[in-house]
A and B are shown apart, each in its own frame.
Chain A
Amino acid sequence: MVDYIWIIIALPLTGAVFLHFFGTRMGEPAAGAVASATIGLSFLYALAAAADFFTGSGEAEAVHLFDWIPALGANAQLLWDPLSAVMTLTVTGVGTLIHVYSIGYMHGDPRYGRFFTNLNFFAASMLILVLADNFGLLFVGWELVGLSSYMLISFWFTRPSAAAAGKKAFIVNRVGDVGFLVGLMLILANFNTLTYGAVLENPARFVTAGTATAITLLLLLGAVGKSAQIPLFFWLPDAMEGPTPVSALIHAATMVTAGVYMVARTASLFELSSFSAGTVATIGAFTALFAATIALTQRDIKRVLAYSTISQLGYMFLAVGSGAYIAGIFHLVTHAFFKALLFLGSGSVIHALNDEQDMAKMGGLRKVMPVTHATMVVGWLAIIGIPPLAGFWSKDEILAIAFGEGGWFTFLWVIGLITALLTAVYMTRWMYLTFWGESRWEDGVEPHESPPIMTVPLIGLAVGGAFFGLLNTPFRGPLRPAFEHFLEPSFEGVIAMAHIPSGATPWNLATISVVAAALGALFAYRRYRGARAYEIPPFASKRTGVWRWVGAGYYVDDIIGNLLVLPGKLVAAWTAFVFDNEVIDGSVRAVGGGVRRIGGWLRPLQTGFVRSYAAVTFAGVVGLLVWFVARGVG
């Protein structure tokens, strides 16, 4: 079973190739059905291959496919262990539901077939990423998901904003990738291979803490880019230009979590450097808070969720930085469920309102979209952390572990707690503006419930969002932390330092955070209960003072644009048109011109009169004669 693990990648890849050539001809819904079937089969295969891990009898296995670049220790070799199994199941499981949903969502799009080509290709790339057994192949997946993300964000390429957003996403990711690449240089230089086995098993044999710090900080730069953390977070909100299923699959559930996965995968390296681990946690906590404040102010239904995703990814970083790798992965999985759910729900709303994304023109959809509303309530409760839904278990585990770490991490815990409160505020606001209160639809818009092909995946994700958290409760007995046991073999030797504080502390902490969430929700309830259209845009009544800053995303885009992009273009233009043209090519032309000028000086000698040539010749002969005679040769 495990020997043929490549089938998991090959299925969606074959689907992508097949649809590339025949997708347009097949049309809908056949193209969507093929795409969904390939990834669905991948899920089933992964489930079967992971069976041994469920029973606890499975062993991590590396499967060699073929030589790729052996000179760097990077071959086409896959690793099947509990961690990659969890990631594979998440990607294929959530991915299947989103594929199915897209069959309905993309209905009527002229490039229907092409959409599924790209979606399938993304799934294959993401699976390469999570199944790779060396950093080289990891990087292949890492970049290929960036490519699919680029193509899917700018899927509606006739919109300039979509094309620009795709490019921005790819380039900002590449900034991180430069760090990643340099990290790989250091890894090869120190370990003489890129293969996980040799690098990650007890890396202290080869590197000092200092080198490990350098390597991990560079890898972190890559992770920060992919997972949209400070300072490379600003591409993700723009990425919402893509079709909503893309936002759900790539920019919420899977691709953006690659950074978290990578940190978890290289846990043994991060364990060598408490500085790097602390940096991860700090970046995570601050990003969580920062993005949550922006989410408070957005009026685009998807941008709220985008900032929310950045914020939740911050939690995951906080977790893996605190050494709570399993908690981080756990939150990754629960978040995949409820955030994909929320995105698909917003897609359903957008669809119902004829592509309206402004929440100021929504409201009161509860009655006309009962299924979507019901599933969204689940997603809402899950993300703000109300027990017993998934978000509660995973988020509170992270907060508890951060608290237990003590010291600086206690401060990060406070930030996490504030973020939890803000999350409750903005998500309740989101629910109010969209589903509750009175309707503010534009004239002539008649919302309707989405077809079953879209609502069934919503229900599937809602079930996951509601109950998945029960797989990892701190209780004994039937609710024992199954997820932790499942993943433990992947973190042998590095797991020791992260644990939930014992005694009554976790219960007190959980109570605090649930109270915070409830307070946030209550506040938003009172604030938006009777919200009128003109009151929607700002968080406060008028967008003044600090809220104007927050509403504009702290002007990060403008700062980047004016301090980096614009000067960059000026420097490039100066180099190209002044330096290259005037100085470099100028000196080349000067050499040519110099030869020409010397020629010009000599030119009058050529009078064209035969007799003057003869005179010069004669003078020359006489001169020679005189010289000979003078030397006494003549």
Chain B
Amino acid sequence: MDVTAGWYLALGAALFVIGASGMLLRRNALVMFMSIELMLNAVNLNFVVIGRHTGDLNGQVAVFFVMVVAAAEVVVGLAIMIAVFRRRASASVDDLATLKG
């Protein structure tokens, strides 16, 4: 069986949908983080695939940017989560609705 770019894109799409579903459905902030990572990496995969398919290096360059941003985001996000967890003893995002308008 020939593994074409289509397969990779399908995998990326599947990963993205899983990530998005987790983001929308799960309440635990940690899990939501992992879902976000999943979505970011799904996109990364697509960048690489399309970059390779078109022979354009920019796809892979973009991946590095995404990875750096993701890392920074995780650092800040986890720090916030730990702070919140210490105060509330809960990682459920539904408890953090104090910014309600």
Residues of A within 8 A of B (CB): 602-611, 614-615, 618
Contacts and interface: CB of A to CB of B under 8 A. Distances in A.
A602 B101 CA distance: 9
B57 interface: no
A609 B24 contact: no
Query: 6 closest A-B pairs (Cβ-Cβ)?
Result: A606-B101, A608-B100, A608-B97, A603-B101, A610-B93, A608-B99
B20 interface: yes
B16 to A, nearest CB: 11
A606 B99 contact: yes
Interface in B15-49: 20, 23-25, 27, 32
14 contacts: A602-B101, A606-B100, A606-B101, A608-B96, A608-B98, A608-B99, A609-B93, A610-B96, A611-B24, A611-B32, A614-B23, A618-B20, A618-B23, A618-B24
B27 A607 contact: no
B22 to A, nearest CB: 10
B101 to A, nearest CB: 3
B94 interface: yes
A611 B101 contact: no
A603 B100 CA distance: 8
Nearest to B20: A618
Contacts of B101: 602-608
B24 A614 contact: yes
A338 B19 CA distance: 112
A611 B22 CA distance: 10
A615 B24 contact: yes
A614 B98 CA distance: 17
B100 A611 contact: no
Contacts of A614: 23-24
Give the interface centre of A603, A605, A614 by most chain B CB atoms within 10 Å. A614
Give the interface centre of B23, B25, B98 by most chain A CB atoms within 10 Å. B23
Interface of B: 20, 23-25, 27, 32, 93-94, 96-101
A224 to B, nearest CB: 69
Contacts of A615: 24
B93 A607 contact: no
A628 to B, nearest CB: 16
Contacts of B94: 609, 611
Given A611-B94, A615-B24, 18 more contacts: A603-B101, A604-B101, A605-B101, A606-B100, A606-B101, A607-B97, A607-B100, A608-B96, A608-B99, A608-B100, A608-B101, A609-B94, A610-B32, A610-B93, A611-B25, A614-B24, A618-B20, A618-B24
Give the interface centre of B20, B27, B96 by most chain A CB atoms within 10 Å. B20
A611 B98 contact: no
A419 B24 CA distance: 105
Contacts of A609: 93-94, 97
B12 to A, nearest CB: 15
A595 to B, nearest CB: 15
Contact of B93 (A605, A611, A618): A611
Contacts of B23: 611, 614, 618
A615 B23 CA distance: 9
Nearest to A603: B101
Contacts of B93: 609-611
A615 B22 CA distance: 11
A603 B101 CA distance: 5
A606 B25 CA distance: 19
Nearest to B94: A609
Nearest to B100: A608
Contacts of B98: 608
Contacts of A610: 32, 93, 96
Nearest to A606: B101
A264 to B, nearest CB: 80
Nearest to B27: A611
Contacts of B24: 611, 614-615, 618
Give the interface centre of A605, A606, A607, A609 by most chain B CB atoms within 10 Å. A609
Nearest to A611: B24
A603 B24 CA distance: 22
A604 B101 CA distance: 6
A35 B25 CA distance: 99
Contacts of A603: 101
Contacts of B100: 606-608
A432 B32 CA distance: 112
A607 B94 CA distance: 10
A291 B24 CA distance: 96
Contacts of A607: 97, 100-101
Nearest to A607: B100
A376 B100 CA distance: 93
A603 to B, nearest CB: 4
Nearest to B26: A611
Contacts of B99: 606, 608
B100 to A, nearest CB: 3
A618 B24 CA distance: 9
Nearest to A602: B101
A371 B63 CA distance: 120
Contacts of A618: 20, 23-24
A606 B97 CA distance: 10
Nearest to A599: B101
A605 B99 CA distance: 11
A606 B96 CA distance: 13
Give the interface centre of B23, B97, B101 by most chain A CB atoms within 10 Å. B101
B38 to A, nearest CB: 14
A268 B47 CA distance: 101
B65 to A, nearest CB: 20
Contacts of B97: 607-609
B87 to A, nearest CB: 17
Nearest to B99: A608
Contacts of A608: 96-101
A608 B97 CA distance: 4
A606 B99 CA distance: 8
Contacts of A605: 101
A610 B101 CA distance: 13
A598 to B, nearest CB: 13
A623 to B, nearest CB: 14
